[in-house]
Structure 1
Amino acid sequence: MRKHWKRCFDSNNEQSKRQSIEGGTSGPISSPSVTKFDQAVSRSILTKMFVTEEIAFQFVERNVFRRLFHSLQPKFKIPLHTILARDILSLYDIEKMKLQSYLSYHCQKVCLTTDTWMTLSQKLTYMSLAAYFIDNDWKLQKRILNFCQVEGHSGDVLGRAIEGCLDAWKLHQVFTVTVDNATSNDVKDGLKEIDDSITRIFNAVKYVKSSPMRSESFKACIKWEGINYKGLVSLDVQTRWNSTYLILEAALKLRAAFDLLELQDDKYINELSKSYGVPTNDDWTYAE
């Protein structure tokens, strides 16, 4: 027992000295002297490294990369890039199952956002789908559910893609869906109830923006009314609801200038009368 105790004591002292030289044992990496090589574990770490660091698959076959790993652990068999790609797909399936279990437990209501891109070279369209939700600990969470190729930008195509993705994730308690600013997406349906009023104000803005002379005349009205607002009205963008908000916000601040323009410029009345007419008091009230 004395001999055994002495051997253990000497071994522990030697290991402590080694750990002191190597920086101690407080770090996340174990000491090489007690680490047992495992091909499967090392290969799993390599796979996750290529995913998290976004490294090209072919990099695994470069000579400098292989020489580095051989110097660190000659026993490690570095996979080919095709095998690495399969490992990443397997890792994706595992992580997807974990996330699906997490969503089923934490996600009661989900808000979705989607965006689309088209590649210039191949003319291929891709769609991303992200989910936002409050977990059981009342913390906001975000998870990317899908990034896939779709047939086009139309609302029907994107709707079917989103529906298929939700079925795959078994998510059916959708609260909202926020889409990008594509022309195929209806983003202003909520304004249809006061569409005529909005149109009359838009036409008034379009009139003063249609030529430099009309713009200068409108600026003179602003100056005459003593309006301190420094901004100017801009034209609407049909696929951006916030542009409607901004144009109405500016027009309301310049309402007195539009009223003065109506008294001074006969062309303003004549041109707007060809369509919906000049803005009325009710129109400005709806705009507010």
Structure 2
Amino acid sequence: MTVRIQFKKYHKARNLLAIKIKQKKFNRQQKKRRLSSRVWSHFSMLPRNSDGKLECKCNKCGAKYVADSKSGTGNLHRHIKKCVRMTTKEIGQYIIATDEGSCLTTRTIFNQDKFRELVVHSILRHDLSFSFVEYEGMWNIFKYLEPRVCHFSRNTVKFDIKKIYGVEFGRLHTELLACPGRICLTSDAWTSIATDGYLSLTAHYVNKNWVLQKRILNFSYIPPPHTGVALAEKIYSLACDWGIEKKLFSITLDNASANDVCVEILKTQLRLKNALIFDGILFYVRCCAHILNLIVQDGLKEIDIVVDKIRESMKYVKGSQGRKEKFKNCVFQTSLDSKRALMQDVPTRWNSTYRMLSSALFYHLAFCHLQLSDSNFQSCPTAKEWDRVKKKCRFLEVFHNATVDFSGSRYPTSNLYFPHVFVIQLKLHEESSSQDLYMKKITDQMFVKFNKYWCEFNILFVIAVKFDPLYKF
């Protein structure tokens, strides 16, 4: 009996010891393990959900994943590689990724007003039509990049552009009024293909930082008739709209007869406000580039036949791809540099005619070779005509250089007047006294036009040369 009792006590004690050992093992297993994988630096553990599952979430985008040890960390590694916000390397980087057709970007905040502003500025900057915002293809791109973008019509663009014009008008108006010096204007009339008349008005001035500025103030419709009275009223009203009628120094116009009447009326109106310097002696400046054009056009009349032949030669060579290849072969056989382009002219601009003659003269051997190899080419000048073109190009180069310098808009040009006009006058004297009757006839006609406009000059050009440091040496 005693032995049996002792055995039961021993068996009970052993069972209790086994239970304690199991409890210790269970507690050891339940103890929180240290997370050693590198993925846990990008994820945070969440409390167990209602189903008892353990979850974690991404610290960058907030995506949730199962975090049980049975699931492993492979899905977490894959998320790190494709997480849009986590893969951004530097500030300002814009990464686009697709996930089931949606567009995910690092830009979490989308501003519809800012988007509209950027589109309107693009239309202004690249001279696009207002209907650009109604192109279905463009909106497909916008929707792909940002699903939250909203459509807007051309009327909205028109409204925004008017609003921008109002802001820019006010800014430029303030800048013109704050200009420390006087303002010079240039103006010209223009007729469109639809025979509508327009007038442009441009301001040139030096700002407070001594930087030359050029601003197109107006490009306005002007109804007929385009008389001197109508032009004067239009220019004066535009100047008053900008509030600069008392800050004007000079106005540059071409040599149309209506402009003489226009200037006299403007002077009368400005005298009433005591706004002229030296009673308007310096106010009117004739466009030097336009005068050069008139002078040279008279000289080009003498070689109209040659110019027509060269113009037709250019059109013939550029008429088809086969002719171009045939001309290239002629250039290769005459050992000329084929990199120089053949230029066609615009008959109303003499300097483009000069460039056409110059390029044709460079390839004159190739044209002669083409005439021998192509019986259809009948417009090649003769040897005597080529000599005339050579003399003419050498003579017109002086005028071309002056026109290029006078046409500059990013630098003052009044100080360039006397140096160029003086060289032109010397060239005309030289050719008029030469033994070449052909060149003498041309220069005599050009001298008549030269003296018509430049026998008297604006004293402003003398002052400009005096102030130019380059001529003080």
The normalised TM-score by structure 1 is 0.59
Change (3 A) 1:129 1:230: same
Residue 250 of structure 2: aligned partner: 176
Change (3 A) 1:66 1:185: same
AA partner of residue 443 (structure 2): L
Matched, 1:92 2:301: no
Write the distance in 1 (CA, Å) between the matches of 2:155 and 2:451: 47
Does the Cα contact within 8 Å between 1:179 and 1:185 map onto a contact in 2? yes
Change (3 A) 1:15 1:73: closer
Q: Which moved more, 1:103-112 or 1:52-61?
A: 103-112
What's the offset of the Cα at 1:169?
A: 1.2
Aligned residue among 98, 106, 109 for 2:182? 109
Change (3 A) 1:64 1:137: same
Does the Cα contact within 8 Å between 1:50 and 1:57 map onto a contact in 2? yes
Write the distance in 2 (CA, Å) between the matches of 1:179 and 1:140: 20
Write the distance in 2 (CA, Å) between the matches of 1:173 and 1:75: 51
What's the offset of the Cα at 1:148?
A: 0.5
Among the aligned pairs, what percent are the same residue? 25
Moved over 4 A (4+): 10-17, 29-32, 187-190, 221-225, 228-231, 235-238
Aligned residue among 184, 200, 207 for 1:135? 207
Give the 3-state SS of the residue equivalent to 1:87 in structure 2: helix
Q: Which has the higher contact order (CA 8 A, sep 6+)?
A: 1
Matched, 1:18 2:87: yes
Residue 244 of structure 1: aligned partner: 453
Q: Matches of residues 188-203 of structure 1 in structure 2 within 5 Å?
A: none
Give the 3-state SS of the residue equivalent to 1:233 in structure 2: helix
Deviations 1:71-113 (A, max 9, x none): 1122222211122112111111111112112222235310000
Write the distance in 1 (CA, Å) between the matches of 2:116 and 2:207: 33
Deviations 1:118-148 (A, max 9, x none): 1232x21101111000011111011111111
Deviations 1:136-195 (A, max 9, x none): 1111011111111012322221211111111111112100011134331129999xxxxx
| Aligned length in residues | 203
Give the 3-state SS of the residue equivalent to 2:445 in structure 1: coil
Give 5+ residue unaligned stretches, structure 2: 1-40, 44-58, 62-79, 97-104, 265-280, 282-301, 303-431, 456-473
Matched, 1:158 2:158: no
Look at both structures and tell me which one has the larger radius of gyration over its CA atoms.
2
Aligned residue among 254, 259, 264 for 1:185? 259
Deviations 1:242-285 (A, max 9, x none): 87339xxxxxxxxxxxxxxxxxxxxxxxxxxxxxxxxxxxxxxx
Aligned residue among 198, 212, 233 for 2:444? 233
Residue 125 of structure 1: aligned partner: 197
AA partner of residue 175 (structure 1): F
Q: What is the aligned-residue RMSD (CA, Å)? A: 3.9
AA partner of residue 180 (structure 1): D
Write the distance in 2 (CA, Å) between the matches of 1:102 and 1:181: 31
Does the Cα contact within 8 Å between 1:237 and 1:244 map onto a contact in 2? no
AA partner of residue 82 (structure 1): N
Write the distance in 1 (CA, Å) between the matches of 2:139 and 2:446: 59
AA partner of residue 138 (structure 2): F
Change (3 A) 1:17 1:30: closer
What's the offset of the Cα at 1:49?
A: 0.8
Matched, 1:43 2:109: no
Write the distance in 2 (CA, Å) between the matches of 1:163 and 1:111: 14
Q: Which moved more, 1:177-186 or 1:78-87?
A: 177-186
Give 5+ residue unaligned stretches, structure 1: 1-5, 191-208, 210-220, 247-288
Write the distance in 1 (CA, Å) between the matches of 2:147 and 2:172: 36
